Every structure is written in structure tokens, then in C-alpha cells.
């Protein structure tokens, strides 16, 4: 049932080295033998065992992808982009969901370690000491998405979250809004959520408005959580006129909460999100947001990673991609750009 290179060699009347050469085009083989081997391979439907190959090569052809949660459309889109390149380069992707859990994160990293996968694409909220130890001790190429990590020798890809948040906050301020609330993710260390929060804070300050804690909502990555948070918030801060949600999922939770409180979006309260997940254009109302080139980030990260796996020296290995403000129905304005 299981046919191996030896069987092919036997039937073709050559050595297995020759068969290997034929399969990999690694060394010239006389045409006649070449054809004979190829024919036997065809006939038998022989497929070399990738595990054995991996052992000999010290490569598995596997890329590990560690993300918080595949059910978050942002990560799904990212994975889609990653997959396109992974596939194109004849690798496969091992997907690991950490569900924002630090222990899971480390245990996955350990599973993927060393010879197992050839490289890792990694997304996390917080880079701890343990992470650093891990990445420093393992020789694996690693690419971070959605954050940089200067003190580690890893490549990374991100957008300028600070400036984007600054822009979108200013977009509200410019048109007269003063009570602009923000919904932010837990602030761990220098993550995108952290930067977005500071972009908001500084934009407000530029208009002479000091950070007002009562306009800051804390939530996480679940719509449900944001929904509840916003409903509670509205009881205490009915005077709010604009809300900057630091992700589109949060924006959806917020809009739903506003509507359930009988508040019109955008007429009474305007809402903006962040990311531009596909649902942002199809929600009702469609959502004004910061477009990140999500799939593109996934693709580029993977390209960089694979080049590093192949031992190439990549010069520009810490990229900042451009973002774009997309105005839609959740804010009142003549469309500056976008749809």
C-alpha cells in the first residue's frame, strides 16, 4: 500500500539517489533514466513522504500562526492574507488560537518550537519576559503583526495606530464635537490599543480638552461586552455626542447599544470604529472607520517571514503600512474619501 523511494528505485532499476535527484531536479540525470523514473513515479502515484524529507532537511514546510481569536473578523482577514502567501510558497499553516490567554500562548509557542515549524507569525497583546526569553533562545524566524518589539530581533508589520487615532478624533473635534468618548481595549504594554488611546488623548489636548476619565470606556474584543458597557455608560453620560470605538467590533456593540437606548446614529451620536473589517460597510448604519490593509499586512508579514526562513537578509523588516480614513453612515459628513 505504502510506496517508498526504494520501491520506485527498484522498479526503475536505479538507485534511490537517482530517484531523489529526479524528484528534486537537484542534479543532472541522463534523460533516459529520468524518463524511466518519472514513469514509475506516475504509475505508482508515488508521493515522497514529507516527514522523512523534513527530517533530512531540518525543515517542515510549516509556518505557525499564533493569533488571539479566529472568530474575530480582523484576525480572520489577516489569516486569509497569510494563507495566500503561505500557499503560494508551498508552505502550510499551523493555526493556533490563544483566546487572549497567556498560558495558551506560551504553550503553543513551545509546541511550535524549534524543528517543528520553520517560522512563526505572532500576534499578542502583551510581550512578557517569558516571550522574550523564548524568542531569544529559539532560533526561529518570527514576524510580529500589529505591534513592533524593538528589543527583540524580530520583523514586524503595523500601521501608525497613534496617528490614525489622532486623525479620527480630530475628525470629530474639527466639526465641533467636544464630548468625544472613547472605547478602549485593556491597556497592556505598547500595543495598538495603547497607541490608539494616546492618539485620542493627545488630539483632545490639542483642542484644549484634558483627558476626562468619565468619557473613557473600557471594554475588550467581544461585541457583547462593549454593548453592555455602552448601555451602562449612556445612563451616566447622556451628553456624549461622539464615540470613538477602537475597533469595528466595538463600534458595532456601541451602535447597537445606542439604538436600543433609542438614540439615533449618527443624528444624535456619531460613532467611528477602527480596522475596516468587511462588516463595517454592511452594518446598518455602515461604519466610519480607519482602514487598515488587513489582508495585505498578512501577506507582507508572510513574505518577510519566508524570506527570513530561507536565510535571506531582509533589510526593511519593520514596516509601517499606510492607513486610510473611511467615512460612512455612522458619522455625519460629506464623504471625504472612501465609498
| Contact yes or no for 287/280 (Cβ under 8 A) | yes
Q: Which three cell numbers stand for residue 66?
A: 499564533
107 binds DNA (CB under 7 A): no
- Residue 174, interface with DNA (CB under 7 A)? no
Q: Which partner in a copy of itself, DNA, none is near 18 (CB below 5 to 8 A by kind)? A: DNA
DSSP string for residues in 129-191: HHHHHHHHHS---EEEESS--TTSS-EEEEE-HHHHHHHHHHHHHHTT---EEEEE----SS-
How far apart (Å, rounded) are the C-alpha atoms in residues 53 and 68?
32
Q: Got the DSSP string for 190-202?
A: S-HHHHHHHHHHH
Bridging pattern class, strands 142-145 and 119-122: parallel
Residue 83 binds what, of DNA, a copy of itself, none (CB under 5 to 8 Å, by partner type)? Answer: a copy of itself
Is there binding between residue 16 and DNA (CB under 7 A)? yes
Contact 63, 119 (CB under 8 A): yes
- Which of 70/319 has CB closer to a copy of itself? 70
Instruction: Lay out the site mask for DNA across 20-39 (x = CB under 7 A, - = otherwise).
Output: xx-xx-xxxxx-xxx-----
Distance from C-alpha of 154 to C-alpha of 171, rounded to nearest angstrom: 35
Nearest distance in Å: CB 114, a copy of itself: 6
186 binds DNA per the rule CB under 7 A: no
CB atoms within 10 A of CB 319: 16
Q: Which is nearer to DNA, 56 or 213 (CB)?
A: 56
Helices (H), the chain: 5-12, 16-24, 31-44, 50-57, 73-88, 102-112, 129-137, 161-174, 192-206, 223-236, 248-260, 279-282, 294-309
Between 95 and 314, CB nearer to a copy of itself: 95
CB-nearer residue toward a copy of itself: 183 or 204: 183
Given the complex with DNA, which of 33 and 317 has the nearer CB atom? 33
Q: How far is the CB of 131 from DNA (least distance, A)?
A: 24
Does position 304 interact with DNA (CB under 7 A)? The reply is no
Min. distance of Cβ 308 from DNA in angstroms?
19
Q: Which is nearer to DNA, 61 or 285 (CB)?
A: 61
Task: Report how far Cα 81 is from the mean position of its chain's Cα atoms.
Answer: 9
Burial 128-139 (b: 16+ CB within 10 A, else e): eeebeebbeeee
Say whether the peptide bond before residue 191 is cis (omega within 30 degrees of 0): no
Q: Which residues bind a copy of itself (CB under 8 A)?
A: 1-2, 45, 47, 49-52, 54-55, 60, 62, 69-71, 73, 76-77, 79-80, 83, 87, 92-97, 104, 110-116, 137, 139, 223-224, 227, 252-253, 255-256, 259, 278-279, 282-284
Q: Is 120 helix (H, G, I), strand (E, B) or coil?
A: strand
Looking at beta carbons only, is 194 or 227 nearer to a copy of itself?
Answer: 227
CB of 221 to DNA, least distance (A): 38
| Binding partner at 214 among DNA, a copy of itself, none, C-beta below 5 to 8 Å by kind | none
Q: Which of residues 44-103 bind DNA (CB under 7 A)?
A: 46, 48-49, 52-53, 55-58
Q: Is 43 among the residues that bind DNA (CB under 7 A)?
A: no
**Which partner, DNA, a copy of itself, none, binds residue 278 by CB below 5 to 8 Å per kind?**
a copy of itself
- DSSP state, 115? G
Q: Which is nearer to a copy of itself, 199 or 266 (CB)?
A: 266
Among 68, 93, 69, 71, residue whose Cα is nearest residue 81: 93
Contacts with DNA, residue ranges (CB under 7 A): 2, 4-6, 13-18, 20-21, 23-24, 26-30, 32-34, 46, 48-49, 52-53, 55-58, 115
Amino acid at each position: 500500500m505504502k510506496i517508498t523511494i526504494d520501491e520506485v528505485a527498484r522498479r526503475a532499476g536505479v538507485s534511490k539517489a537517482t530517484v531523489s535527484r529526479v524528484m528534486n531536479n537537484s542534479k543532472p540525470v541522463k534523460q533516459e533514466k529520468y524518463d524511466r523514473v518519472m514513469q514509475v513515479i506516475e504509475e505508482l502515484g508515488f508521493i515522497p513522504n514529507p516527514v522523512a524529507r523534513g527530517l533530512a532537511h531540518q525543515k517542515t514546510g510549516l509556518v505557525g500562526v499564533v493569533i488571539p481569536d479566529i472568530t474575530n473578523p480582523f484576525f480572520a482577514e489577516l489569516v486569509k492574507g497569510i494563507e495566500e502567501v503561505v500557499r503560494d510558497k508551498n508552505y502550510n499553516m499551523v493555526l493556533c488560537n490563544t483566546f487572549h490567554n497567556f498560558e495558551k500562548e506560551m504553550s503553543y509557542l513551545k509546541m511550535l518550537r524549534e524543528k517543528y515549524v520553520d517560522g512563526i507569525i505572532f500576534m499578542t497583546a502583551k510581550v512578557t519576559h517569558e516571550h522574550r526569553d523564548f524568542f531569544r533562545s529559539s532560533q526561529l524566524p518570527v514576524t510580529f503583526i500589529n505591534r513592533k518589539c524593538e528589543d527583540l530581533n524580530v520583523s514586524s508589520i503595523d500601521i501608525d495606530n497613534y496617528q490614525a487615532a489622532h486623525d479620527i478624533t480630530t475628525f470629530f473635534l474639527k466639526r465641533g464635537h467636544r464630548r468625544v468618548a472613547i472605547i478602549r481595549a485593556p491597556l497592556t504594554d505598547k500595543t495598538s490599543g495603547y497607541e490608539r488611546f494616546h492618539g485620542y488623548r493627545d488630539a483632545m489636548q490639542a483642542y484644549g480638552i484634558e483627558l476626562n476619565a468619565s468619557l473613557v470606556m473600557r471594554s475588550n474584543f467581544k461585541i457583547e461586552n462593549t454593548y453592555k458597557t455602552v448601555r451602562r455608560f449612556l445612563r451616566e453620560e447622556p451628553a456624549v455626542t461622539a464615540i470613538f470605538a477602537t475597533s469595528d467590533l466595538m463600534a458595532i456593540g456601541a451602535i447597537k447599544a445606542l439604538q436600543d437606548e433609542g438614540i439615533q446614529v449618527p443624528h444624535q451620536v456619531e460613532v467611528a470604529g477602527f480596522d475596516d473589517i468587511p462588516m463595517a460597510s454592511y452594518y446598518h448604519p455602515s461604519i466610519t472607520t480607519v482602514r487598515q490593509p488587513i489582508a495585505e499586512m498578512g501577506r507582507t508579514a508572510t513574505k518577510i517571514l519566508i524570506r527570513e526562513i530561507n536565510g535571506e537578509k531582509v533589510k526593511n523588516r519593520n514596516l509601517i503600512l499606510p492607513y486610510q480614513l473611511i467615512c460612512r453612515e455612522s458619522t455625519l459628513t460629506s464623504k471625504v474619501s472612501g465609498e
